[in-house]
Chain A
Amino acid sequence: MANEVCFRTLHLDEPWTLESYLSVGGYQSLKKILTEKIPAEDIIEQVKTSALRGRGGAGFPTGLKWSFMPRHSEGQKYIVCNSDEGEPGTCKDRDILRYNPHQLIEGMAIAGYCIGADTGYNYIRGEFWEPYSRFDNALKEAREAGYLGDKLFGSDFNFDAHSHLGGGAYICGEETALLESIEGKKGQPRFKPPFPAGFGLYGKPTTINNTETLASIPVIVEKGAQWFLEHGKPNNGGTKLFSVSGNLKRPGNYEIDMGTPFSELLEMCGGMKDGYKLKAVIPGGSSSPVIPGEQMMDVTMDYDSIQAAGSMLGSGAVIILDDNVCMVNALARLSHFYQEESCGQCTPCREGTGWISHIMHRIEHGYGKQEDIDLLDKVAGDIMGRTICALGEAASMPVKGFLKDYRDEFQYHIDHKKCMVGPGSK
């Protein structure tokens, strides 16, 4: 089944309104928790049982993350939603904000209840003006209707949320950079520990979850952890939004059961556009290693299966590369991206992403030297594990992935000073 969780309003006219959300049972999970006084520990257990994992890319178990919060300690605590969607290929959170913003608000409120926070911030990337407007309108509607504010549903739980707009920086998707950015600073990641659950926004205990993660919560509470878990396979519970892009007949966001074969997802997208053949797939956003098309046809869309194939589910961004794509050209573009977006704080990443991008540029433009291929591999390897945040890994993994399966195209570029495939081969 499709569109049962984050996209459950999608079939309605104006799915983003409070009226639409209420018509599918909206805010009933929050109401149930507060009126039946269900203990936060029970909800956290339920989220653990559901096997919900962070949908932003890292895949950390959500219930476990919530349990790290010192919920009984006095003082301010925060829930922060990460809508700084910027991993190339990913466009799912944009559609949650545009088409089902109230479910995200309800998810934030339930999370706030579980971790002991009365305030939430939703960090929305600055370019997302339409999604921001929809979300901000939904906040107003929710406040007026009494779903946000003091003493919700007659309980002693107070909760309000606000949006924060970014300014154009991929790195702010990293949770501690995001916190720095809300504090009005450059978005440079913090050294961890301390982790945000101890020292987060304004130095207060904070939980940061992805948009899709939080928007899944109301449905898990309503239908039960088991229901969610069964939409998937063991250790890979639930549904997942996949952003599929490339030369397909129907690219788009598809919310499907985890464990669905890639071949079925491809069919949902109508298959390749006429005249294009499947060459390879970047299965989880630009940072995840590329997988050859024929190998991908045996993979199911879940954490374990994609990992066994040598890559990552990541953010669920499925980038389809067709037979016109030169892999040298593709990696050159991605390497430029990571160089642009490195925050400059750690030397291995700042310098390494520059080196990778420069080497890729010269191979792409016919000035590559034989030793460049090994040099690329070495520079990528030298970044890994030597930086404060994961951007260094994110820049290095594609290099390793492309070299592993498509080394011949790099060699061809160095030998012939042109592409092996695609328009650049002529």
Chain B
Amino acid sequence: MPQANNELINTASREDIDQWVAKYPADKKQSAVMAALRIVQDQNGCWLTTELMDAVADYLDMDKIHVYEVATFYSMYEHKPLGKHKICVCTNISCMVCGSGEIVAHLEDKLDIKMGETTEDNRFTLKEVECLGACSGAPMMQIGENYYENLDAEKIDTILDGLK
């Protein structure tokens, strides 16, 4: 297969991936595949293309099928374009008991989209997620790397208004 594929991975991403590769035994580069997929996904904005997955396979000397398996098994890898901000709302038991239903309703109403959809201006995507491990701060959501806990409608408005 053409090695040109892995030129899709930019220099900064390669350096980042190399730091992960260094954590594992020299003959176990495949261990860095989860990190590599996350890094190229971020490089691409928010989602993985087949070309990017192939580039990761080339870079880590893996069969493409094994990269696809990982990329489709874990929920944090996306396979279609999303809005600039992915809003992950937990609706599992602790959040549900503490009113995640109202949080979802408020977000859907405010953004005029349903869960799983993206706003027309491509700024926001709403995603329902399973327990994110912040249950004593329920109800909660995640945007980017940040957790937002003890949510109510007013707090959500402030958070969304504060996003660039």
Q: Hey, which bits of chain A sit against chain B, CB under 8 A?
A: 76, 85-91, 93-94, 121, 125-130, 162, 164-170, 181-187, 202, 243-247, 251-253, 282, 286, 317, 319-322, 325, 329-330, 333-334, 337, 340-341, 343
Is B93's CB within 8 Å of the partner chain A?
yes
Closest to A276 in B: B97
Q: Please give, as numbers and ranges, the residues of chain A lying within 8 Å of B93 by CB-CB distance.
A: 88-89, 282, 286, 319, 330, 333-334, 337
Q: Assess the A184–B70 pair: CB atoms within 8 A.
A: yes
- In the complex, are the beta carbons of B133 and A247 less than 8 A apart? no
Given contacts A245-B97, A334-B92, 11 further A-B contacts (CB under 8 A): A86-B130, A127-B88, A164-B34, A168-B76, A168-B129, A184-B33, A184-B70, A244-B136, A246-B97, A286-B92, A333-B91
Find out whether the CB atom of A185 lies under 8 angstroms from the CB atom of B136.
no
- Is the pair B133, A128 in contact by a Cβ cutoff of 8 Å? yes
Closest residue of chain B to A320 (Cβ to Cβ) is B97
Q: Which residue of B lies closest to A182 (CB)?
A: B31
Interface 1/0s, chain B 74-112, versus A by CB < 8 A?
A: 111100000000001001111011100000000000000
Q: Does B35 count as interface, using CB distance less than 8 angstroms?
A: yes
Residue B161 interfacial (CB < 8 Å): no
Please determine whether B23 and A162 come into contact, CB atoms closer than 8 angstroms.
yes
Which of B77, B98, B131, B134 gathers most chain A CB within 10 Å? B131
Residue B30 lies at the interface, judged by CB distance under 8 Å to chain A: yes
Question: In whole angstroms, how far apart are the Cα atoms of A127 and B75 in the complex?
Answer: 10
Interface pair A321/B130, CB less than 8 Å apart: no
Per-residue A-contact encoding for B127-148, CB less than 8 Å = 1, 0 else: 0011111111110001001110
B69 within 8 A of A: yes
Whether B25 sits at the interface, judged by CB under 8 Å, is: yes
Q: Is the CB of A245 within 8 A of B38?
A: no
**A-B contacts, 22 listed (Cβ < 8 Å):** A86-B133, A88-B94, A89-B135, A90-B135, A126-B74, A127-B76, A165-B38, A167-B38, A167-B70, A184-B33, A184-B62, A185-B66, A243-B135, A247-B97, A251-B135, A251-B137, A319-B97, A320-B97, A330-B93, A330-B97, A333-B96, A337-B92
Q: Is the CB of B75 within 8 A of A252?
A: no
Write out the residue numbers on chain B whose beta carbons fall within 8 Å of the beta carbon of A247. Answer: 97-98
The smallest beta-carbon distance between B137 and chain A, in angstroms, is 8
Q: What number of A-B contacts does a CB cutoff of 8 Å give?
A: 150
When distances are taken between beta carbons in the complex, the residues of chain B under 8 Å from A251 are 135-138
Beta-carbon contacts of B19-34 to A below 8 Å, as 1s and 0s? 0000111001011111
Query: B126 contacts the other chain (Cβ, under 8 Å)?
Result: no
Q: Does B151 contact A (CB under 8 A)?
A: no
The 4 closest A-B pairs by CB, nearest first: A167-B74, A168-B75, A184-B30, A245-B94
Q: A167-B76, A247-B98, A337-B92 are in contact. Are A85 and B133 (CB under 8 A)?
A: yes
Question: For chain B, which range describes its interface: under 10, 10 to 19, 20 to 34, or 35 or more residues?
Answer: 35 or more
Of B23, B25, B30, B92, the residue contacting A88 (CB under 8 A) is B92
Contacts of A76 in B (CB 8 A): 25
**Does A167 lie within 8 Å of B135, measured CB to CB?**
no
Q: A167–B75 contact, CB under 8 A?
A: yes
Q: Collect the chain A residues with CB atoms within 8 Å of residue B133's CB.
A: 85-86, 90-91, 93-94, 125, 127-128
Please, how many angstroms separate the alpha-carbon atoms of A87 and B134 in the complex? Answer: 11
Q: Which of B96, B134, B135 gathers most chain A CB within 10 Å?
A: B135
The one of A125, A186, A282 in contact with B73, judged by C-beta atoms closer than 8 angstroms, is A186
Who on chain B is nearest to A244 by CB?
Answer: B136
Give CA–CA (A135, B96) in the complex, Å: 30
Contacts of A121 in B (CB 8 A): 23
B37 close to A (CB within 8 Å):
yes
A76 to B26, CA, bound (A): 14
CB contacts (< 8 Å) of A319 on chain B: these are: 93-94, 97, 135
Interfacial chain B residues near A337, Cβ < 8 Å: 92-93, 130-131
CA distance A93 to B135 in the complex (A): 12
Contacts of B131 in A (CB 8 A): 86-90, 170, 286, 337
Q: Which of A169, A244, A320, A330 makes the CB contact (< 8 A) with B96? A: A330
Chain B neighbourhood of A341, CB < 8 A: 130
Query: Which residue, A169, A184, A282, has most C-beta atoms of chain B within 10 A?
Result: A184
Specify which chain A residues have a CB less than 8 angstroms from the CB of B38 in the assembled complex: 126, 165, 167
From residue B95, how far is it (CB to closest CB) to chain A in Å? 9
Q: A86-B133, A127-B133, A243-B135 are in contact. Are A166 and B74 (CB under 8 A)?
A: yes
CA of A409 to CA of B23 in the docked complex: distance in angstroms?
52
Known: A88-B93, A89-B131. Is A167-B98 also a contact (CB below 8 A)?
no
Q: Which residues of A contact B94 (CB under 8 A)?
A: 88-89, 245-246, 319
- B28 neighbours in A (Cβ, 8 Å): 183-184, 202
Q: With the chains together, A64 CA to B133 CA distance in Å?
A: 29
